[in-house]
Amino acid sequence: MTTTLIGSPVNRVDGRKKVTGAAQYASEFVLGEMTHGVLVSSSAAGGKIRNIDTAEAKQAPGVLLVLTHKNAPHLGKMPNDMMAGGVAAEARPPLSDDQILHNGQYVAMVVAETLEQARYAASLVKVDYTKGERFAVAIEDAEDTRYKPGDFMGQPLTFERGHWKKEFEKADVRLDATYSTPTEHPCALEPHATIASWSDDTLTVYNATQWVKGDQTVLSAAFDLKPEKVHIICPFTGGMFGSKGATAAHTILAAAAARQLKRPVKCILTRPQVLTDVGHRSETIQRFQIGATRDGKITAMRHHVTTHTSLKEEFPEPASISSRMLYNIENYATEHDMVRLNVVKPSWMRAPGEMPGQYAQESALDELAYELAMDPVDLRRRNHATIDLTTNKPFSSNHLLECYDRGAERFGWSARNPLPRSMPDGNELIGWGMATATYPGYLMGAAVNVRLESDSSGVHATVSTAGTDVGTGMYTMLTLVTAEALGLPLERVTAKLGDSDLLQCAVAGGSNLTASTAPAATDACTEIKHELLKLAADAADGFTGAHKHANEFIFNNGRVAHRSDPARSIGYAELLSLNKHPFLEAQAQTKPIFGHNDEYSFHSSGAHFVEVRVTPAIGRVRVSRIVSVFDCGRILSAKTARSQFMGGIVFGIGAALMEELTYDRAHGQPVNADLAGYLVPVHADIPEMDISWIDEPDYNFNSIGCRGIGEIGITGVPAAIANAVYHATGKRVRDLPITPDKLLAT
């Protein structure tokens, strides 16, 4: 097969819609009789509601309904497990009782004719809380709640292989260092939003989501409906990074209010509500103890992790997920402790586990490299793993060593003098650092439908599945893959996504959706081509028995021909006219793989090389250069892939230098819960990036050979920056983010 489209830098097929505003996001749908719901958030961080007075709010102009725990409808038990096909953000239904578990918890929803009326009336709801209740919003204030969590998605968080302690104690070189990362929030640009509308016993929900089928599962359980009576629509999502995977309280309450009012209810979270009430990445405290031989062989590693969760529920940020498998370390142990805080339940945020874990591990390896007077790339090579020691299976495809080679070459790493402060430039100090990136290969499964039809304008294919395009480029990728497989020009293919009436598709999470859908789309196209050949075999000269030799035929530009005689081709339109229906349709699906199967372990990897410029007088750090090389199997859409990698790296720069959700320990509220206070990088923080990929297909993973790319970009970046800052200044900051005050203090 000659590849023309796959891997090429095509423009986004929905680009024009997005830049002209034609792309409709959930909150932009206009329904008749729309009403507006505004949530009232608790100002207390714990205790109980002693009294809630809604009299004045109910009297305010335009108010239709005020829901509180006193009159909220009873909801069915909602699923809370990825494997159950849907996840309620918290198992406790919203407004279910008078308990306050964290600041910001919704205590009422006010619905009015206009948004302004609802907002004003919400300010009139008076809540009296019990006073003086104990609460904690920092790990050090909750030591008495320390406990060991259960598994994370089937993986144990505390285990040992070999004898780390014995080997650590007798090691030539030992490192014992503790690193910490703060609470972080994805802050997707599009705030969380829902429009819920009922018609008889059918619920239609326009939702900002990354999982329409998950929302369908949760809402059908909450309202005791058959799934087919719940219709979720989400053609576009304005970013999510994990935060729109669970079905959140505002969605459930909008649906409850809409049922009661028999009118559509729109509810858009305010930015402070997004930051306070939508799950964040937990803070982590990570202690690494590493033993090594003088020549750099790591003989022992222990990774102790402490994270937080909410008062009643558990989400352990799985920070040891990469330290357990990335390097060839036989004597390894990890432990995970948690404490309970008065905060919303933590949740997935881009590379959950790998992000903080790789910051700590790759920082520790840099420290070890200095202890050993060894180049940090050489140290990683020395401990390179060819087998995943957690599963004892070989990696299906692993080109990490090539990533190091190419990255070092493109960066000019060989010119590095390892001595800290060895590269001054005027008022600045230049530093070079590197780190490894890693992320598992996930494929959560999808069913895809492809339909080829013909009308007066010509042949046209539609590829569809319920998966959502969360901004990553799914529309473009599926269009490209289908056009390639069917031999049609791009403009002859349309992708349909984000609708629960379409075929089953996994959450747009775990960087899995391309790997799940692209092979299914291709397989469906193969079946359609087979049918086209059958039609040709029956009808056309020179095509006798063609379907029995499918791979001898070339499908190109809407026509099929035998490769020995490309000139004698027949058009799809002509073949479709011979069919009993004016179309051909096929479905195919992929089966889930969660990081490994019986034969292989599936992991992507990469390497970041970073240059920083530090102004030591004022502690200012600027990232001036990044070279990143990734091994993620075959890359299908070069432009959207580069954007994904770049977005991940930008996230990494944010985590390294500025991101931190800070809580007031006296009162329990986040003090920077808006986009002026919670800092994410702006353009001026981002340098030109040199991003490339190895592009070796992993056919053990799926028939197309692609693994996910959405999350790996972030992993390792904070460590590469921290390592570069050390190289520049001689100062090791072990607590993210690396802000001017910390550089002045150390």
Residues designated as active site: 711
The reply to whether 667 sits near other proteins by the rule CB under 8 A is yes
Rounded Cα–Cα distance for residues 660 and 652 (Å): 13
Cα angle at 470 between 232 and 352, to 5 degrees? 110
Shorter beta-carbon distance to other proteins: residue 606 or 718: 718
- Structure token pair of residue 293: 């031989």
Mark 500-533 as b/e (b = at least 16 C-beta within 10 Å).
bebbebbbbbbbbbbbbbbbbbbbbbbebbebbb
DSSP 213: H
Shorter beta-carbon distance to other proteins: residue 148 or 667: 667
Which of the stretches 82-90, 112-120, 150-158, 291-299 binds other proteins when contact is defined by CB under 8 A? 112-120
- Structure token pair of residue 549: 């030799």
Interface pattern 539-558 for other proteins (x via CB under 8 A): --------------------
Number of residues interacting with other proteins: please give it, by CB under 8 A: 36
Shorter beta-carbon distance to other proteins: residue 585 or 735: 735
The reply to whether 220 sits near other proteins by the rule CB under 8 A is no
Shorter beta-carbon distance to other proteins: residue 55 or 671: 671
Site for other proteins in 680-719 (CB under 8 A): 681-685
Number of H helices, E strands in the chain: 16, 32
Site for other proteins in 718-737 (CB under 8 A): 737
Nearest distance from C-beta of residue 331 to other proteins, angstroms: 41
Interface pattern 23-62 for other proteins (x via CB under 8 A): --------------------x-------------------
The reply to whether 273 sits near other proteins by the rule CB under 8 A is no
Rounded Cα–Cα distance for residues 726 and 19 (Å): 41
Nearest distance from C-beta of residue 661 to other proteins, angstroms: 11
Figure out which of the listed residues 229, 530, 622, 642 binds other proteins, where binding follows CB under 8 A: 622
Nearest distance from C-beta of residue 683 to other proteins, angstroms: 7
Figure out which of the listed residues 71, 199, 427, 564 binds other proteins, where binding follows CB under 8 A: 427
Residue 691 Cα distances to 403, 416, 437, 645, 719, angstroms: 11, 20, 13, 8, 18
Rounded Cα–Cα distance for residues 539 and 133 (Å): 81
The reply to whether 617 sits near other proteins by the rule CB under 8 A is yes
The reply to whether 677 sits near other proteins by the rule CB under 8 A is yes
The reply to whether 189 sits near other proteins by the rule CB under 8 A is no
Q: What is the dihedral of CA 186, 190, 194, 195, to 10 degrees?
A: -170
Shorter beta-carbon distance to other proteins: residue 120 or 413: 120
Rounded Cα–Cα distance for residues 575 and 581 (Å): 11
Phi, psi of 624 (to 5 degrees): -105, -15
Three-state DSSP at 59 gives: helix
Q: Which residues are bridge partners to 663 per DSSP?
A: 670
Nearest distance from C-beta of residue 332 to other proteins, angstroms: 36
Shorter beta-carbon distance to other proteins: residue 41 or 322: 41
Figure out which of the listed residues 620, 639, 642, 732 binds other proteins, where binding follows CB under 8 A: 620
Q: Positive or negative, the Cα torsion across 663, 668, 670, 671?
A: negative
Site for other proteins in 555-574 (CB under 8 A): none
Q: Of 199, 81, 160, 515, whose CA–CA distance to 330 is shortest?
A: 160
Nearest distance from C-beta of residue 497 to other proteins, angstroms: 32
Nearest distance from C-beta of residue 622 to other proteins, angstroms: 7
The reply to whether 671 sits near other proteins by the rule CB under 8 A is yes
Rounded Cα–Cα distance for residues 473 and 462 (Å): 17
The reply to whether 228 sits near other proteins by the rule CB under 8 A is no
Residue 7 Cα distances to 84, 395, 525, 637, 642, angstroms: 35, 23, 18, 5, 11
Figure out which of the listed residues 371, 526, 740, 746 binds other proteins, where binding follows CB under 8 A: 740
Q: Of 265, 264, 223, 228, whose CA–CA distance to 247 is shortest?
A: 223
Figure out which of the listed residues 556, 662, 692, 703 binds other proteins, where binding follows CB under 8 A: 662
The reply to whether 746 sits near other proteins by the rule CB under 8 A is no
Interface pattern 580-609 for other proteins (x via CB under 8 A): ------------------------------
The reply to whether 744 sits near other proteins by the rule CB under 8 A is yes
The amino acid at 345: K
Shorter beta-carbon distance to other proteins: residue 173 or 686: 686
Q: What single string gives the DSSP state of each residue in 472-520?
A: S-HHHHHHHHHHHHHT--GGGEEEE-SBTTS--B--S-TT-HHHHHHHH
- Structure token pair of residue 693: 């990929």
Rounded Cα–Cα distance for residues 482 and 216 (Å): 27
The reply to whether 651 sits near other proteins by the rule CB under 8 A is no
The reply to whether 672 sits near other proteins by the rule CB under 8 A is yes
Query: Rule CB under 8 A: which residues touch other proteins?
Result: 43, 116, 119-120, 123, 427, 615, 617-620, 622, 657-658, 662-664, 666-667, 669, 671-672, 676-677, 679, 681-685, 737, 739-741, 744-745
